Amino acid sequence: MHDKKTYKIKGMHCASCASIIEKTLKKVEGVESVEVNYGNESAKIAFDSSKTNLDVLSGKTEPLGYSIVKPVSHEKMDMSAAEMGMSADEHAAHTGIGQSKKEKLLEISQQRNGVLSVIPLAIISIFSMGWDILSQFKVVAEQPAVVADFFYVLLPIMATYTLFVVGKPYLLGVYRFLRYGKANMDTLIGIGTSVAYIYSFIVMAFATQLKPFMGSLHTYYDVTIVVIAFIAFGKYLEAKSKLKTGDAIEKLLNLQAKTALVIRDGKEVEISFNDVVHGDQIIVKPGTKIPVDGVVVEGGSFVDESMITGEPMPVEKNNGDNVVAGTINTSGTFTFKATKVGSETLLAHIVKMVEEAQGSKAPIQALADKISGIFVPIVLVIAFLTLGIWLIVGSQYLGFSQALSFGLTSFVGILVIACPCALGLATPTAIIVGVGKGAREGILIKDAATLQKLHSVTTVVMDKTGTITKGKPELTSLKNYSKNDDQKVIAIISGLEKKSEHPIAHAIMQYAKSKNIEPSQVEAFESLKGKGLKGSVDGTEYFAGNVKLISDLGISFDTKGLEVETQQGKTPVILSTKNEIVAIIMVADAIKPEAIEAVKNLHKLGIKTVMLTGDNKNTAEAIAREVGLDEVVAEVLPDDKLKKIKELQAQGEIVAMAGDGVNDAPALAQADVGIAMGTGTDVAIETAGITLLHGDISKIVKAIRLSKLTMRGIKQNLFWAFIYNIAGIPIAAGLFFPIFGWLLNPVFAGLAMALSSVSVVSNSLRIKTKKL
């Protein structure tokens, strides 16, 4: 029996953790494939359950510091925590979050406390190290004896706290490397800082005995403190940015109605939606959510289906029409028969699709993390070889004591200068600055992987409603055929529509309100079902409605011109008397003013544009032509949107998806980069990697430019970080000593390490000054 599921993983700290887990699990008999996603801390594992099981797999990863979380069934989507015998946070974990929010917040709080405690120590250390280095160059006077003695006592105390309390994860990285041969960034940091600490402790403890053998008795406690402070700060910021990874599933589940009003034994009974069975007759009153999928059997109403179709106009429902769980009844009361319940509903299907898309592997693994597995042993081999060569070869020319002094100096110098502070900062500092700049521009970026991926996007797919258009019906045009002025016409029609519950009436009333037009007083009001309204204003009888109403009145008018506009997605409201047309008002979901310019700018970047919409083909094509889109796919459901994204990806396209509705959530999760409109639903926002405030799609272009700018900064940072390591290690090893007499004192190794960090941070800060 084959089992393929996505599991949450606890204990992941960097992209190389994902590589370690993959390699470990692939060695287990029965495991067919493993995809570990560091971005959302999950693993998609396919295995033969007759040969292995989840306990065996978790047993392989736990000694390495990673645990696989057993999933809880989603069969009953909204059972309360108490019903499931869980705490509130365990229930949050049940909804798709591997680690409960309480655990995450506790972890972040601990990281923040560690950072806050170590930053002052780092500042003191930098001050001490800077003074010492500058005095070597005669820039400042040497430290007075009392100051030197003060730092001599203070630095080891601070370094001990920093290494064994704040730096505990890095020491564990060293332990696991020694025990299991698995190395990640924690291992690199742990070795560099602990060697600097141990060397300093030995020099301090045995200063008298070592003085005859070693010319320099310099300590490197400050190096230990500064490196751990920088890295801990970066990890804290990363943890904060990933806090809401699993919120999309929670938000989706919250859309589910909690109860259902069913007819049992001829009586209306309110029950939990979990207890609804196929064939139940369910009554839905105005303003309530529809609990399960079904078919209307009695009554009628307008239902807001925007969470499924993304379209703003509520849809009229009558006998035989389908209704969907989670949608909202806006006006009348109706009864429907349950056809799909529990995990069969469309809402449950959307939840499943989002989970699967989020669990698929799409993180960008930083170069620094990729090389860490081989970097650690190479640096250690170089360090020990250097010490051995100094002792063997150096003793013949310099004598043993001098060779030992130079050998130990080179050994520590290599490990200090190879300590990956700049390598560890290269990506996070650029990301931190880039994300901060994005926030100021109204571009909210959820994680580093999203910002990294965005620069290589080749196709931008956009939902129509709420993304390209404003997402709500509004009055777009008025053709006045009467002797009255426009204000009078609006006053008359808003007076009639004031008593209507139809969504179009709200658009007309909103327009009248925006123009400060008071609706006329209407007498003898009457609703004409399926046609419109009628009523008297100042003794004149007026009619407001659709084409059928005007045809029934026997009034002739230009139907062809009206059909053209109707095919473009506009809904006409015709105001007339018994004998003639007074005005024709068009109501539509208007295109956002910035949409056309945004598409032009995307084309300038060489990016293809595609529109996906649940709206009808004629409307979609008319809008696509006006905006200038390359391709349009209309009349699609959430499943179809997801398929289209997969199809583009299969063609080699790097896809960004921009949307605002729950119906867009699966496509947003599947896309290489999901972009949500800030004016959209919480689910779309939580599923997407990027949110554009105010729903301004022109910010998509700025977000792509920001990504390209940030990626350029990251590459420059990595270049400088490697240059320091590549150039520094040979000098620290004494490779140039026989030729030029160069030997890098660990003090200057510390300076080089500090300079590499400063150059990386300074280069990252340049991103702030660039215009998007």
**What's the full length of the chain, in residues?**
772
Alpha carbon separation from 126 to 130, 137, 155, 755 (Å, rounded): 6, 17, 11, 12
| The two three-digit tokens of residue 234, written as one number | 């970066």
392-427 burial, b at 16+ Cβ within 10 Å, e below that, comes to eebeeebeeebbbbbbbbbbbbbbbbbbbbbbbbbb
d(CA 319, CA 331): 16
Answer whether 635's CB lies under 8 Å from 617's CB: yes
Answer whether 579's CB lies under 8 Å from 485's CB: no
d(CA 431, CA 589): 37
Answer whether 214's CB lies under 8 Å from 405's CB: yes
Per-position DSSP letters for 524-577, written without gaps between them: EEEEETTTEEEEEETTEEEEEE-HHHHHHHT----HHHHHHHHHTT-EEEEEE-
**Three-state DSSP class for residue 257:** coil
d(CA 107, CA 444): 23
Sign of the dihedral through C-alpha 694, 699, 700, 703 = negative
**Three-state DSSP class for residue 515:** coil
The label of the residue with tokens 């203070």 reads: 154
Q: Exposed (0-12), middle (13-18) or buried (19+): which is 554, by Cβ within 10 Å?
A: exposed
d(CA 570, CA 99): 48
Q: CB-side exposure of 666: number of CA atoms within 13 Å? A: 25
Q: CB-side exposure of 162: number of CA atoms within 13 Å? A: 35
Helix (H) or strand (E) holding 609: strand 608-612
Helix (H) or strand (E) holding 31: strand 31-37
d(CA 94, CA 77): 9
CB atoms within 10 A of CB 631: 14
| The two three-digit tokens of residue 659, written as one number | 């949307």
Answer whether 37's CB lies under 8 Å from 361's CB: yes
Amino acid identity at 254: N
- What strands, in cross-sheet order, belong to the sheet with 631-633? 443-445, 690-692, 673-677, 655-659, 459-463, 608-612, 631-633
The label of the residue with tokens 């660039």 reads: 770
Q: 7 Cβ partners below 8 Å, 6+ apart?
A: 42, 43, 44, 45, 54, 68, 69, 70, 71, 98
Q: 524 Cβ partners below 8 Å, 6+ apart?
A: 534, 535, 536, 541
Q: Strand locations in 421-519, DSSP E?
A: 443-445, 459-463, 469-480
Helix (H) or strand (E) holding 297: strand 293-299
Sign of the dihedral through C-alpha 9, 14, 19, 24 = negative
Give the catalytic positions in this structure. 463
Helix/strand/coil percentages in the chain, nearest 5: 55, 20, 25
d(CA 684, CA 659): 7
Amino acid identity at 461: V
Per-position DSSP letters for 707-748, written without gaps between them: HHHHHHHHHHHHHHHHHHHHHHHHHHHTTTHHHH-----HHH
